[in-house]
Structure 1
């Protein structure tokens, strides 16, 4: 089996706590997974970061490297941004790249790297006009955004945990993306 490299970039939303299971599923499908996190997601997973690095075989990253430092990851064949919060989607679409994962994903648009995103937000955020504009901008840039029917469908604003975040849809899409290369 030919190994392809997947950058899995996750924001601070409750499904981030399932990331080890998602990494294992992607690895079973032949992906070499590199995990990138927003700073808040890295804080949420703080006690698990060493174990996640062992699981992937790569350092978990949430900050840019310093000038002159070598890249510690192989080049990406596909980048997945999930769970992608309201903030991550809007910053990415606007080109605000102060966060490592957003900067790499923004640059990947220009490099032609296949990108898949699946938001994770509640219906109140999803109704904000900036969100729909941002999703539209990312789609125009060639990002496959799994939002709405056939993707993540936001739940009510009450509660902190989206019920049934559809990781399986993302993994199916990843399988199709891997077949293209």
Structure 2
């Protein structure tokens, strides 16, 4: 089976403690995972066995070559309130956010598992954006195709299997 490149964007929330499980599941399904954590997610990764999956942090220097191949797909697990809103608004001020915005612009298939504390989930922006309304709203830009799927944690494996035919 030919390996496909999967960017796993990891945000700082309890589900980040299972990133190693995601790396293993991706490999079992023929993906080559690259872990791209937000700054808040880095402490969650410290004690995990990620195999030899590269962990990419920070921006590269201008004279450095690209560090990873282009993604065939992107998984954002977990996707926190901050990341979801930054992605929906096109905020590209960190490497993970830039990666997400570029993936959306390149029409790279993406899946996300929203995760927010109860008080943040009560914010008026959360229901709209976590259902994919704002991200899927690319129709406003003349591109009606839905490229971001919002899933529960238990649905990601099925998505990875279906994407393995890319």
TM score, norm. by length of structure 1: 0.79
Q: 1:47 to 1:128 in 2, by over 3 A?
A: same
Query: What residue number does 1:9 align with?
Result: 9
DSSP-derived class of the 1:97 partner: coil
Moved more, 32-41 or 129-138: 129-138
Give every structure 1 segment of 4 or more consecutive aligned residues whose post-TM-superposition deviation is greater than 3 Å: none
Task: For structure 1, list consecutive stretches of 5 or more residues without a partner in the other structure.
Answer: 152-165
Task: For structure 2, list consecutive stretches of 5 or more residues without a partner in the other structure.
Answer: 139-146
Contact 2:19–2:45 (Cα < 8 Å) also in 1: no
- Backbone CA RMSD of aligned residues: 1.7
1:131 corresponds, among 121, 126, 138, to: 126
Query: What residue number does 2:148 align with?
Result: 143
How do 1:157-176 and structure 2 match up within 5 A? 166=153, 168-176=154-162
TM score, norm. by length of structure 2: 0.85
How many residue pairs align between the two structures?
A: 156
Q: Does 1:65 align with 2:60?
A: yes
| 1:62 Cα deviation after fit | 2.3
| 1:113 Cα deviation after fit | 0.9
Moved more, 36-45 or 130-139: 130-139
Distance 1:25 1:55 in 2: 14
Query: What residue number does 1:178 align with?
Result: 164
Distance 1:172 1:35 in 2: 20
